[in-house]
Structure 1
């Protein structure tokens, strides 16, 4: 990303705080709340400095959040088939930390693509077909 160093540091710091809070929480809803810091902080930085890689981060994390939130709502409404376990949230938190490292170290586009791919897989896992494919062993998210 072509951001000033102080914005790299701010983003990475906020992402790490979010990951810490996700780890400390026992509540899936609270974990998702802290995950929302990622696209919230990306939005704030985009107001100061436009960057295409950052808007990709904003998009990927916001969509991941929305898909997971939809699954959580289904679970609370009594659809227990797709379960979001502790291991799922550990994998999500690990992806947040990878994103923080990417931002902090000013990683390359290939690294960003791999991280966004992890978020996409974690989101897809929460769908009926994604859960089925994971159960079948077609892909492994965590």
Structure 2
């Protein structure tokens, strides 16, 4: 029996599809939506503002709020409650570390935009290769 599902979400449509799949396929499971806020890198992006904040964890939670709002909308459409969690760091590494306490990870097939897929690598692929639990990739 699958009791605990981890659904990483980044705000992309595929991550929303992953959550929709999870709530439909596992209606009685406990679902946790994880958003990972990246660390600063040579191309910085949103992580720069977060890393310069006085309270990094609060800034990460604020950044994740829109993703969580969307996740709650999807869950409400299926009358399924979801838990939320925020991690700061490398997305694939944070997802794999968090996966340990779950029965399965349900993840969207790729990230938000082409540049992130080319420069950062495919997070879903890395999660599939490194996860300690089964991974379902939604496309």
What is the TM-score with the length of structure 2 in the denominator?
0.29
Greater radius of gyration (CA): 1
Give the number of the structure with larger relative contact order, counting CA–CA contacts within 8 Å between residues 6 or more apart: 2
Q: Which has more strand, going by share of residues?
A: 2
